[in-house]
């Protein structure tokens, strides 16, 4: 039997991606375009939050949305109907976006005409956390129906994000979700990460989220 050679490629892939992501951030800085990477499980409310964000900020900033999905374009259609430019990335089975995919999507935008681009990453709490997209900041959504134990199960996602939105707080009275316990678990992983409870249905907490994002965008683009 011939000798089998085992070649580990994962580290090389991640290293190449980090280098490309760094180049992408330099490009964004040159154009003064703030890129936010939004991650969550399927159904946690990424599209709903994006629509709320666009509604609140489209008169303040020029906004684009980069939608990622394995096959569908339904979310991009919803975003486009809100009056901002949407670009759809079909990942063809990949469960994440990496810097190369994002760079290809950004080529469809006029970066000089945009202050803010929001990436709606592929919906899961595993793969997207492992790949640097070149975004300036990462935001993640955890919905109340998912439970307060997710930091224990998916620690990397909570470690690489700069802000956590706990969506669907209107379900709190119907669940055993413990917000205090969640915050304790999150802060053990990421001591400086803001935790913002929100409800896209009732509007609770949206002001706090908009304030956080508006401050980050304004600082980056120099307004």
pLDDT at 214: 98
What is the torsional sign of CA 54, 221, 109, 17?
A: negative
Query: What pLDDT was estimated at residue 145?
Result: 97
Q: Look at residue 87 and tell me if it is in a domain.
A: yes
Residue 222 lies in a domain: no
Residue 172 lies in a domain: yes
75: containing domain: 31-217
43: left (phi over 0), alpha (psi -120 to 50) or beta: left
| Structural domain count of the chain | 1
Q: What is the pLDDT of residue 189?
A: 98
| Backbone dihedral angles phi then psi of residue 129, each to the nearest 5 degrees | -70, -20
CATH code, domain with 125: 3.40.50.300
Tell me, yes or no, whether 120 lies in a domain.
Answer: yes
**What is the pLDDT, as a whole number, of residue 142?**
98
- Domain membership flag for residue 17: no
On whether the CB atoms of residues 169 and 199 are closer than 8 A, the answer is: yes
How much is the pLDDT for 173?
96
Average pLDDT, consecutive stretches of 10 residues, N- to C-terminus, the chain (223 residues): 49 81 97 98 96 96 90 75 88 84 93 97 92 97 98 98 98 97 98 98 98 98 83
Sequence-separated (6 or more) residues with CB below 8 Å from residue 78: 47, 51
Q: Is residue 66 part of a domain?
A: yes
Residue among 92, 91, 123, 97 at smallest CA distance from 21: 97
Q: Which residue has the tokens 């709190």?
A: 172
Tell me whether residue 12 is in a domain: no
What is the predicted pLDDT for the residue at 9?
Answer: 44
20 is a domain residue: no
């Amino acid at each position: 039997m011939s000798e089998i050679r085992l070649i580990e490629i994962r580290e090389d892939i991640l290293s190449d991606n980090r280098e490309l992501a760094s180049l992408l951030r330099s490009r964004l800085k040159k154009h003064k375009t703030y890129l936010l990477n939004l991650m969550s499980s399927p159904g946690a409310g990424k599209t709903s939050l994006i629509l709320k964000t666009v509604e609140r900020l489209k008169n303040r900033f020029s906004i684009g949305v980069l939608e990622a999905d394995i096959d569908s374009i339904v979310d991009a259609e919803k975003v486009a109907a809100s009056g901002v430019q949407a670009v759809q990335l079909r990942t063809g089975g990949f469960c994440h976006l990496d810097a190369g995919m994002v760079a290809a999507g950004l080529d469809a935008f006029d970066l000089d005409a945009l202050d803010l681009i929001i990436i709606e990453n592929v919906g899961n709490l595993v793969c997207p956390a492992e790949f640097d997209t070149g975004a300036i900041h990462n935001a993640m959504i955890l919905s109340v129906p998912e439970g307060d134990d997710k930091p224990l199960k998916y620690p990397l996602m909570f470690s690489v994000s700069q802000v956590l939105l706990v969506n669907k707080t209107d379900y709190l009275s119907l669940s055993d979700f413990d917000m205090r316990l969640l915050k304790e678990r999150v802060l053990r992983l990421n001591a400086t990460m803001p935790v913002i409870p929100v409800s896209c249905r009732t509007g609770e907490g949206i002001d706090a989220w908009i304030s956080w994002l508006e401050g980050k965008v304004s600082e980056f683009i120099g307004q």
